[in-house]
Chain A
Amino acid sequence: MISITVNGKAHRLDIEPETPLLWVIRDDLGLTGTKFGCGISQCGACTVHLDGEAVRSCGMQVGDAAGKSVTTIEGLSPESRHPVQQAWLAEDVPQCGYCQSGQIMAAVAFLKEHLSPTDADIDANLTNICRCGTYVRIRRAIHRAAALMKN
């Protein structure tokens, strides 16, 4: 049995410890906002927070998350009020939207470490793939979120 806490709720799961956290979140817990994109930690569509840090959940075994606290996009803010979500809304960032849960979770963790990010900081730290090419707006939304978080 593996114990993990997801979005504040404790779960005990009878599951192989090597199961990627992604599939536990999606198939066992039914939280489908976290997406499967590549399975090899390349695209970031599966990004969640583990004790507040961004991790690519397709490359993390659930056994390694045992006893830790996982936050998914569904748990970020009950009413989508997080400044990063508000910035995403203001910039109308998403197109197809599939990668955006991961983009937002990556940006939230990034902004905790970079209160006034430069473009170079963004380039160096945010590597999630968006095939719709929303990068121009993602960048703008990150700067907007940083400003919102200061106020």
Chain B
Amino acid sequence: MNQIVKTSLTRRDFVVASATAAGSLAITVMLPGLAETATIGAQTYGPDASPHDVNAFLAIEPDGSILIRSPHNEMGQGAITALPMIVAEELECDWAKVKVEYASPSRNLREHQVYGNMVTAGSRGVRTSWRFLQQAGASARERLIAAAARRWNVAPGECHAENSKVTHKPSGRSLDYAALAADAASIKLDREPAIRPPDKFKLIGKSLPRLDTPLKINGAAKFAIDTQIPGMVYAAINACPVAGGKLRSVDETPVKGRRGVLQVVKLDDAVAVIADRFWRAKEALALLKPEWDTGAAGKTDSAQFAKMYRDTLNGPMVSARNDGNVDDVFAKRGNIVDSIYEAPYAAHATMEPLNATVRFDGDKLEIWIGTQIPMGALRLAAAASDLKPEQITIHNCFLGGGFGRRGRNDEMRQAILVAKQVAKPVKLVWTREEDMTHDRYRPQAAVRLKAALGSDGMPVAFDARIAVGSIQRSNGMNKVENGLEPQAIEGIANTNYKIPNQRVGCMLKNTHVPVGFWRSVGSSQNAFFMESYVDELAHAAGKDAYQFRRALLAHRPDFIGVLDKIAEKGDWDKPLPAGRGRGIAIHECYGTIVGQVAEVTVSKKGEVRVDRVVAAVDCGHVVNPGIVEAQIEGGIVYGLSAALYGDLTVKDGRIQQANFDEYEMVRLADAPKIEVYLALTGGKKWGGIGEPGTAPTAPAVANAVFAATGTRVRSLPLKNAKLPGAA
């Protein structure tokens, strides 16, 4: 199946159709009194169980509404629309009556991980939870059927579920789900029903409108930063600007007697001001001149780090892969391409700065936060508060962007430590400056890539040396085995390009700067390295960059499908005028292949403008094509901000860019036209979609810049590249 996403059913079509198609989904969102008909609440959490539960995943309320509990949270990726669609696919319920809340981490704890690990990261919502969500819907449906059959004293096989009703066909009797829910909850089935095969899907595969959109056009959606609880005070915080440093001392005199200021709180590595308003806390904090113990880290800078990573490339490596005999080939072949690529730290810069609100109440602790890892947050909160996870309630809110940043909950730990010293509920908010300078950044990296081309121009040996910060070590995750972690080598060691001799080595080296999971993680920088380099090889071989990739991926029809789609839709064969260029890149991560053709214009001053990006996706099964399209659009823009502008530097151990004036983002004027196509080869996989769109953007753009200028950019961001002006 090859289709453009745009031709499928979307909300745009619903709006047109709504005048005639009474009862269609559009009616829910288009009726007058919109606020009342939004199908989900402004708040993502509720009581963690209901008397009307059929199982942990769903409750059928007396009014016929279906409450579905999503095991993954909503940070823009569409989880609370797509995941309920999977439940509803099997439940045979009226989609217009579906309501959604997040599943509760406390209930997950009580009921032995009934919702799985609840992690929202690694593009894993649909990818890891589809099966048990389908099962939850199917199991509930069969129980509703069994409950009706028992009431009518007929065989369940004679009954049939559809549109929130069970019908007994022979007699024509029917009962609403709401009337059966209580009985269904107590039904014991001999065996759980089989889930529906994809060729029978009715709801999965449709571009249903997102359930959260009505709440996000009128300010109703509640993010953690919007939490308001009685008696709450505000905390503004300043952690040591050099990560790992400690607070030596701070003179509180400058804030004494200031209006609204209640208290100065000192932590090991931070100072906070508590006030009755956030603005007063923030202004007072700015008057403090804390003394920090920064140690040797306080003398480091970006130039030292760049040299360290480059030098590391010449030292010993841990083997990640060694197939054939690379050295033999290099000794014999003359046509060798040897290049060094680099990438800087990158900040997440979620639009909602990190924040958390906490309330201690005797031996109980309540937390309002946006977290990607609620179970991890429970454990972290327990450690910070000296309580047991059972004594803690986490109210997870809409996330104002995640991208990997909301998976460590640094802000929550601080809020708990601060609240321990303040006898009131505390809302702690990071300023943008605090957020940008205390991130867990995409790691800085350098790689050396070397290949020998055969007489036919195709590579016969490939040698990669990778020097990069360890995300695992930086986060205390200790999943570094034999000196390697998947995040460091993904996209290079597991490349799908068929080259007979391949060797990949890696050396993990961390600075004091914390590193973490940034949208598409290792693939974000490694795809830039690998796909730029493959482009270099194609040019060295005198071959077309698209055809060169096609030849190296001939054994992978799914890659070929994506490549052919972007070449066709991206007008690969049509020439462009001087000063413009097209670049191609393809990458697989999180079970999904994304290819992109970028078109750029380079001005006479050497400035890059990305005019158009054409993307194709093979993610296997598609739950909601409209959401897939949006995620690829967004992933491209996210990758583009970092590729064009993302220049994060360190001086005196401190991150130097603190706000959007110094760390620029793509805005409307810089955003390219984007076209997204599905290029599905019918694979059985359920690939992720939140991250794979980001990885190919930087190389597609850099390759287009080469096509336009003849200059190969091997270090990001592109704004720092010295490009010849267009002719």
Contacts and interface: CB of A to CB of B under 8 A. Distances in A.
Contacts of B11: 89-92
A43 B218 contact: no
B349 A131 contact: yes
B669 A127 contact: yes
Contacts of B32: 79, 81
Contact of B401 (A34, A98, A135, A137): A98
Contact of B674 (A32, A34, A136): A136
B352 A129 contact: no
Interface in A111-139: 122-124, 126-139
Nearest to B349: A131
Given A131-B403, A133-B636, A136-B673, A85 B659 contact: no
Contacts of B368: none
Nearest to B355: A36
A96 B351 contact: yes
A89 B638 contact: no
Interface stretch (B304-312, B381-389, B660-668): B660-668
Contact of A133 (B78, B212, B671): B671
B163 interface: no
B322 interface: no
Contacts of A136: 633, 671, 673-674
Interface in B189-237: 209-210, 212-223, 225-226, 228, 234
B512 interface: no
B668 A80 contact: no
Interface string A26-51: 11101111111111101101000000
A96 B399 contact: yes
Contacts of A36: 225, 353, 429
B257 interface: no
Nearest to B77: A95
A27 B660 contact: no
A97 B221 contact: yes
A79 B34 contact: yes
Nearest to A97: B216
A131 B660 contact: no
A96 B372 CA distance: 13
B645 to A, nearest CB: 12
A39 B668 contact: no
B502 interface: no
B35 interface: yes
A64 interface: no
Interface in A2-56: 16, 19-20, 23, 26-28, 30-40, 42-43, 45
Contacts of A133: 633-638, 640, 666, 671
Given A73-B219, A126-B668, A139-B671, 17 more contacts: A19-B279, A32-B228, A39-B433, A79-B35, A88-B217, A89-B15, A90-B15, A91-B12, A94-B212, A95-B630, A127-B668, A131-B349, A131-B403, A131-B641, A133-B635, A133-B666, A136-B674
- The 7 lowest CB-CB distance pairs between A and B, nearest first, are A33-B219, A133-B637, A95-B76, A97-B216, A98-B400, A96-B76, A135-B671
11 contacts: A32-B222, A36-B225, A73-B218, A92-B10, A92-B626, A96-B351, A124-B669, A128-B667, A130-B637, A131-B350, A131-B403
